């Protein structure tokens, strides 16, 4: 029954946001995200649940109405550009399926239970990850959020207007956050830690600390066809050195580092660049390793080559130990940490006891169409979530 719910819902979601370039593009605050939200809402209302939209435009589905000390099951419906189908939707479809499974077993919860679809978790449109949960909890100021602009110069405020939401009421809801007794998020595994264990599900321990550094490398623009090699001041050469050394530093510290965004000016095939801007994303298993890696990376750019500054730093998040132990008592699963951010991390940081269950991804690929979970593992994910919900309610 539950496996059918899950597979039917994923199949219904599948056509939404298919990208001709491959995979799915369902950006936050887009018509695709709205479509998935209304499909999920229709499933919930068909079951007699109530729905509401919070001040940060996240969608809430309550089994028997809101209340204090709620168990909230959540994830997101948006994706990155050309992402996979499961990152986000698997969590919400599994939550619905787990509740169907429990209801069939005559489960009677002793506390309120809700599903929440957090808005724009990936930050794919406005560049701020976990936007819905950050605004809801007060971690992101609503006026700062409303002023964010997408690539076309459309502000979040204007996007809210065009979707029919009221920008004047956009903001946090601390009472709603305070009513969440526990938050549990099931998610497709990002990376490949479970396959070597031979296990279908894992229990999240926390989220690695991470930082973003911004390098500005000025050069001396000149003609590619007339400037002798020894007379060049070419910032792309400095960038090449930086990219290789960043990789070496991360490997030496058992950490992760990525130069994923580079802007070359004027970006012409026959010109030595005037300047390069590069972003270095660094993540490590613990704070000391990350601090060490940041110092390593900062040393890679000398003052004559340019500047390298820490644009943002996010501390590690440890999920709630008591909540995780309660789940571990009924779900036998290895503990895994993740380098990726999640709404569960935002809620935990806001003081809500939070936990995560991961479902094995045999490819280890994330944010790309090759992300996968077998049908059998998806079923086991639902089963694990159902056991967790049962013990927590």
* Binding-site ranges for Zn ion (CB under 5 A): 87-88
Alpha carbon distance 77, 75 (integer Å): 7
Helix, strand, coil share (%) of the chain residues, nearest 5: 35, 25, 40
Q: Quote the distance between the C-alpha of residue 272 and its chain's center.
A: 37
Smallest distance from Zn ion to CB 357, Å = 13
Smallest distance from Zn ion to CB 193, Å = 16
Which CB sits closer to Zn ion, 188 or 294? 188
Residue closest to Zn ion (Cβ): 87
Residue-by-residue DSSP string for 199-223: -SEEEEEEE--EEEEEEEEE---EE
Smallest distance from Zn ion to CB 87, Å = 4
Which CB sits closer to Zn ion, 39 or 340? 340
Q: Which residue has the tokens 């580092």?
A: 257
- Taken as a whole, the chain contains a residue count of 393
Beta strands 201-207 and 335-338 are parallel
Smallest distance from Zn ion to CB 121, Å = 6
Alpha carbon distance 102, 219 (integer Å): 63
Evaluate the omega torsion of the peptide bond into residue 330 and state whether it is cis, within 30 degrees of 0: no
Which CB sits closer to Zn ion, 74 or 235? 74
Which CB sits closer to Zn ion, 87 or 100? 87
Which CB sits closer to Zn ion, 187 or 212? 187
Q: What is the DSSP letter of 272?
A: E
Smallest distance from Zn ion to CB 140, Å = 18
Which CB sits closer to Zn ion, 54 or 121? 121
Smallest distance from Zn ion to CB 336, Å = 15
Contacts (Cβ under 8 Å, ≥6 apart) of 97: 2, 3, 5, 6, 9, 382
Structure tokens at 205: 């321990």
């Amino acid at each position: 029954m539950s496996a059918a719910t899950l597979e039917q819902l994923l199949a219904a979601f599948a056509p939404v946001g298919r990208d001709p370039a491959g995979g799915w593009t369902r950006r936050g605050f887009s018509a695709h995200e709205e479509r998935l939200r209304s499909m999920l809402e229709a499933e919930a209302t068909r079951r007699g649940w109530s729905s509401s939209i919070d001040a940060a435009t996240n969608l809430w589905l309550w089994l028997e109405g809101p209340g204090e000390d709620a168990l909230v099951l959540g994830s997101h419906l948006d994706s990155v550009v050309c992402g996979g189908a499961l990152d986000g939707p698997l969590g919400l479809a599994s939550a619905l399926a787990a509740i169907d499974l429990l209801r069939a077993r005559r489960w009677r919860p002793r506390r309120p239970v809700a599903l929440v679809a957090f808005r724009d978790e990936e930050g794919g449109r406005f560049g701020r990850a976990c936007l819905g949960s950050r605004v809801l909890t007060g971690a992101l100021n609503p006026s700062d959020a409303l002023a964010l602009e997408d690539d076309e110069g459309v502000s979040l405020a204007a996007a809210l207007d065009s979707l029919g939401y009221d920008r004047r009421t956009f903001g946090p809801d601390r009472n709603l956050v305070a009513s969440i007794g526990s938050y549990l998020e099931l998610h497709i595994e990002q990376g490949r830690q479970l396959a070597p264990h031979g296990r279908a599900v894992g229990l999240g321990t926390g989220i690695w600390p991470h930082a973003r550094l911004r390098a500005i490398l000025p050069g001396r623009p000149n003609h590619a066809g007339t400037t002798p090699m020894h007379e060049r001041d070419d910032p792309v050469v400095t960038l090449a050195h930086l990219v290789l050394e960043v990789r070496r530093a991360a490997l030496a510290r058992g950490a992760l580092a990525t130069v994923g965004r580079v802007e070359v000016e004027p970006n012409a095939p026959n010109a030595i660049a005037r300047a390069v801007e590069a972003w270095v994303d660094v993540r490590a298993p613990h704070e000391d390793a990350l601090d060490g890696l940041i110092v390593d990376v900062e040393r890679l750019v000398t003052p004559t080559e340019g500047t390298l500054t820490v644009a943002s730093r996010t501390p590690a998040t440890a999920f709630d130990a008591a909540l995780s132990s309660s789940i571990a008592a009924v779900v036998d699963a290895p503990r895994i940490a993740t380098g990726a951010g999640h709404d569960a991390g935002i809620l935990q940081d806001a003081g809500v006891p939070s936990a995560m269950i991961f479902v094995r991804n045999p490819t280890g690929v994330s944010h790309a169409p090759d992300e996968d979970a077998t049908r059998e593992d998806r079923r086991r994910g639902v089963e694990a979530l159902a056991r967790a919900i049962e013990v927590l309610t």
